Amino acid sequence: MDNIRIIPRLDIKGPNVVKGIFNEGLRIVGSPQELATRYYKAGADEIIYMDIVASLYQRNLDFELLKSVANHIFIPLTVGGGIRSIGDINNALRAGADKVAINTYAVKNPNFIKEAAQKFGSQCIVLSVEAKQKSVDLWEAYIDGGREKTGIDAVAWIKRAIKLGVGEVMVSSIDKDGLRGGFATELCQAVTAFASVPVIVHGGAGKLESVAEVLKLANPDAVAIASAFHYQDYSIKKLKNFLRSKEFPIRQ
Amino acid sequence: MTKITAKYGLPAKVSFCRKCVMSNQKPSSTVEFKYASGDKKKTIAFDAAGVCDACHFAEYKETQIDWKKREKQLRELCDRYRRTDSSYDCIVPGSGGKDSAFASHVLKYKYDMHPLTVTWAPHLYTDIGWRNFTAWIHQGGFDNVLFTPNGRVHRLLTRLAFKNLLHPFQPFIFGQKNIGAKFALKFNVPLVFYGENQAEYGNGKSPKENDIAQVRPEFFSSDESIDTIILGGVPVKKLLAKEGLSRNDLDPYLPVSARALKKQKVQVHYLAHYLKWDPQENFYYATKHTGFQANTERTEGSYSKYSSIDDKTDPFHYYTTLIKFGIGRATYDAAQEIRSRKITRAEGVALVRRYDQEFPERSFKDFLEYIDISKEEFWRIIDRARSPHIWKKEKGRWVLRHPIE
Amino acid sequence: MKKKTKLAILDYGVGNLYSITRAVANFCDDFIITDDPEVVARVDRLILPGVGSFAAGMAGIRVRSLVDSIKQFVQTGRPILGICLGAQLLMTRGFEFGNFTGLDIIPGEVVKLSGVGKGVKIPHIGWGQIKPSSSGKKGVLAGVSSGAYVYFVHSFIMQPKRQEDALTTTIYGESRFCSAIRHENVCGLQFHPEKSGAVGMQIINNFIKQT
């Protein structure tokens, strides 16, 4: 088993890191540069940086801001938010991204994934999925910052996107987002059960035990955490020590 | 060139606030039970710099108020009214939405009051609305009285209000405004807490004039003869004579007796006068304390998932404000979020452009059935209500003369 | 203290230079990003970054007439560091999407990462531990402990012909593969030091300082 990556996630709006609940709300929780640098120094394995309003406001992410964040961190940086063209991907990479996460545009134009993966390599293209539970074993994919239904089965969409060439999948639960009440473990299980590419799970990290639980039950390759870190429920170090004590392979 | 007349007594020239996205066409709060069709609307005022009243109030709120002092006043108020026998000491009207969830919870659990929550039912409950309502009671932990007016009367009044005033939400507003005082009188509870003063949203008065602790009684009480009252654009006399309604049918909509309020010494306060009101922070609070959930998707006509989500007919309330004033739901939501500094004006403009004119397709069928009119009649009424100073026809489609800028 | 040295980062059209540039800037004041053979000839050290396919990488080098210039650089004994694709291109040939000739500076082949075992995913994305060979603890790996974590993003691996050219190995799943190569002044890292936090920065600093 490879090392499970612990990845702080920064939701960006304008010049701020914000954090919502159920993908709603724009409460400011910090500065992007400050939080990214702090998490890098604290032992994060990667950083995820998502402009959560770019698709909603139909604008691009701020590449200058991204540069100022990327400047200080020397671990992998995944960047998403309003990525709609090969040019956007290029700009993100030039501004410091190592991987690019795409949701809204990929749902509307699945072949864009193929095009992007061929040009930049699969390992550079991450599928971001915001999923809401509809019924037992059925989740619907949402776009535009979790505000627009698509009628698309999230799990089926992920299968298709992997065939099209994404190198990694980040699956987020809208139902659990921001509550710090535990992950949507069934959703995570449904994805890790078949995914042939690494899976990052996100949405609901709460107590230390909740992270161990999703690792145990769903076996993802990485865990993205926002609220629990931003509100300082525990440090990265504390979480990593805890997980190691539970025998999970975690980088020191 | 023929002069373009402005309907409803609205300002002939459309302009937008420089700070938020509200336009000068926005009507101020009225005394609903005096509203006859053909009445001229008073509208929000802009100053010489092009900034609206509501933005001035928001600025005032941010910079001029000593919130520590206000909280102290709240504590004193609560101390005066708190009951330690088995009775309720305050009425909190609301739906279990983010604002009433916050108000009721903080009054009960922080300020040690014993609220009775009272709910004036939405026209048609949405699933999420009902879910949040029950979570409020079961998880938040409150006694609640849900008052649902006679559906047939409610629907009739809604139809009349739609046809005569293009204001289908009016019947809801009657109840919402008077229910606090009504139940205060019925249960002999002398203190009522509403949330925020709607005048925060602009009524031509200075911020200081609007910074009042108590709701102005003329909005929900009266001692005038019932003959002066107009519901759905129809005088009560005519409703009783021509529409087959009884006095009892109309009671839930009528203002309470001002005399009775005085006698029982009922006071109706704005909680937002004492605690700095932030609807988005209320959302966060409600998710934490009363099991509130945002909607699964944004409401049609806007981007928001947490604002006003419990009534299927609500989107038509906003659609009619779009038709009459050129202002849709996204404008209201964005203006509020700009004033509470959650989004910038540019972001608000992008949202207004994207969503404001969206037709509420999802609840259209329900709405037509609810007020029992045909699609054709609906559009006929809508189109005749458009003011030519706001709308023009271009290539067979209605477009705004002055879209947001 | 930043070292003044003339270092070039080669831009041959594949992959992203931002991160490696930032990392180098931490330790070096005097560096240039270039695709000009004349500049390459003049610098003291050369870095070959790169992310992408083997074929695209070689095409990028060829179209800029850099093949000879790199080989000559190597022959003069000046230090050269290949990273990820840049390291792979140092080999004789690569088998990604076909059979392509590399720079043939270190004999060996670039083949698909395989034998990782059931349920272990390709591409290999994540942190892995490097184990230096017995001679490997000096030079770029000075101060880097055995088992240090570095960051990998790849589906292909280097297989040097000469055993002694394998500088470090890494275990991924059931496979043990060569994660860095070295021969005299030439070094190639399969992983990304510019993404490997403090360990990676140490490696980059070592490269910049080495004589």
Q: Which of A21, A58, A149 sits opposite B297 (nearest CB)?
A: A149
Which H/E stretch holds residue C176?
strand C175-183
Judge whether C173 is closer than 8 Å to chain A, CB to CB: yes
Best probe of the C interface among A4, A39, A74, by most C CBs < 10 A, is A74
Distance between CA C211 and CA C207 in Å, rounded? 9
B133's tokens: 């309502």
CB C101 within 8 A of CB C58: yes
- The string over A84-115, giving b where at least 16 C-beta atoms fall within 10 Å of a residue's C-beta and e elsewhere, is beeebbebbbebbbbbbbbbbbbbeeeebbbb
Range from A103-107, A241-245, B313-317, C12-16 carrying the lowest mean pLDDT: C12-16
Distance between CA B137 and CA A226 in Å, rounded? 30
A196 and C121 in contact by Cβ < 8 A? yes
- Give the distance between the most distant pair of CA atoms in chain A: 45
- A5-245 has which fold? TIM Barrel (3.20.20)
Q: What pLDDT, on a 0 to 100 scale, did the predictor assign at position A179?
A: 95
Distance between CA A74 and CA A70 in Å, rounded? 8
Distance between CA A15 and CA A53 in Å, rounded? 12
Best probe of the B interface among A19, A22, A227, by most B CBs < 10 A, is A22
Which H/E stretch holds residue C188?
strand C186-189
Q: What pLDDT, on a 0 to 100 scale, did the predictor assign at position B206?
A: 83
Torsion sign (Cα): B148, B149, B152, B157: negative
pLDDT range class, residue A123, cuts 50, 70, 90: confident
| Percentage, residues of chain A above pLDDT 90 | 93
Q: Which of C124, C173, C201 sits opposite A74 (nearest CB)?
A: C201
Asked about A209 being catalytic, the answer comes back as: no
pLDDT tens for each residue of C20-54: 999 999 999 899 999 999 999 999 999 999 887 88
Q: Pick the catalytic residue: C28, C84, C178, C187?
A: C84
Q: Which residues of C touch A94 (CB under 8 A)?
A: 16, 18
Asked about A130 being catalytic, the answer comes back as: yes
Q: Which residues of C touch A120 (CB under 8 A)?
A: 51-52
Q: What pLDDT, on a 0 to 100 scale, did the predictor assign at position A73?
A: 94
Distance between CA A191 and CA B84 in Å, rounded? 54
- ipTM of this complex prediction, to 2 decimal places: 0.91
Residue of B nearest to A134 (CA): B296
- Which residue is it, tokens 């006694």? B143
Report the Cα–Cα distance between both ends of chain A, in Å, rounded: 16
Q: Which residues of A touch B303 (CB under 8 A)?
A: 56, 147
Partners of residue B16 on adjacent β-strands: B23
- Domains observed in chain C: 7-209 (3.40.50.880)
Q: What pLDDT, on a 0 to 100 scale, did the predictor assign at position C13?
A: 84
Judge whether B102 is closer than 8 Å to chain A, CB to CB: no
pLDDT range class, residue C120, cuts 50, 70, 90: confident
Q: What pLDDT, on a 0 to 100 scale, did the predictor assign at position B201?
A: 58
CB B381 within 8 A of CB B367: no
Which region holds residue A62: left if phi is over 0, alpha if psi is between -120 and 50, else beta? beta
Q: What amino acid occupies position B27?
A: P
Q: What are the C-alpha distances in Å from C41 to residues C7, C37, C74, C103, C207?
A: 11, 6, 10, 17, 18
Residue of A nearest to B346 (CA): A57
B179's tokens: 């229910």
pLDDT range class, residue C62, cuts 50, 70, 90: very high
Domain boundaries, chain A: 5-245
- Nearest-CA neighbor of B24 among B348, B351, B326? B326
Can you give the pTM of this predicted structure? 0.91
Judge whether A71 is closer than 8 Å to chain C, CB to CB: yes
Q: Pick the catalytic residue: A11, A88, A140, A177?
A: A11
CB C90 within 8 A of CB C102: yes
Distance between CA C153 and CA C51 in Å, rounded? 9
B178's tokens: 């008077």
Judge whether A186 is closer than 8 Å to chain C, CB to CB: no
CB C92 within 8 A of CB C104: yes
- The string over A173-211, giving b where at least 16 C-beta atoms fall within 10 Å of a residue's C-beta and e elsewhere, is bbbbbbbbebbbbebbbbbbeebebbbbbbbbbbebebb
Q: Which residues of B touch A59 (CB under 8 A)?
A: 350
pLDDT tens for each residue of A198-247: 999 999 999 999 999 999 999 999 999 999 999 999 999 999 999 999 99
The values of phi and psi at residue C80, to 5°, are -130, 135
Q: Which chains touch A (3 or more CB pairs under 8 A)?
A: B, C
CB C90 within 8 A of CB C182: no
Please state whether beta strands A5-13 and A47-51 pair in parallel, antiparallel, or not at all (unpaired): parallel
- Which residue is it, tokens 């080669």? C10
- Nearest-CA neighbor of B304 among B329, B338, B277? B329
CB C52 within 8 A of CB C11: no
Residue of A nearest to B284 (CA): A21
- The string over B47-65, giving b where at least 16 C-beta atoms fall within 10 Å of a residue's C-beta and e elsewhere, is eeeebbbbbbbbebbeeee
Q: What pLDDT, on a 0 to 100 scale, did the predictor assign at position B199?
A: 57
B298 and A58 in contact by Cβ < 8 A? no
Distance between CA A217 and CA A207 in Å, rounded? 16
A25 and B284 in contact by Cβ < 8 A? yes
Q: Considering only residues 268 to 307 of chain B, which have any Cβ-Cβ distance to chain A shorter than 8 Å? A: 280-281, 283-284, 287, 293-294, 296-298, 303-306
The values of phi and psi at residue C178, to 5°, are -80, 120
Q: What pLDDT, on a 0 to 100 scale, did the predictor assign at position C197?
A: 95
pLDDT tens for each residue of A133-187: 999 999 999 999 999 999 999 999 999 999 999 999 999 999 999 999 999 999 9
pLDDT range class, residue C167, cuts 50, 70, 90: very high
Mean pLDDT of A122-131: 94
pLDDT tens for each residue of B327-377: 999 999 999 999 999 999 999 999 999 999 999 999 999 999 999 999 999
pLDDT range class, residue C3, cuts 50, 70, 90: low
Q: What pLDDT, on a 0 to 100 scale, did the predictor assign at position C4?
A: 65
C197 and A75 in contact by Cβ < 8 A? yes
Helix (H, G, I), strand (E, B) or coil at C119: coil
The list of chain B residues with pLDDT below 70 reads: 1-2, 199-203
Distance between CA C110 and CA C153 in Å, rounded? 15
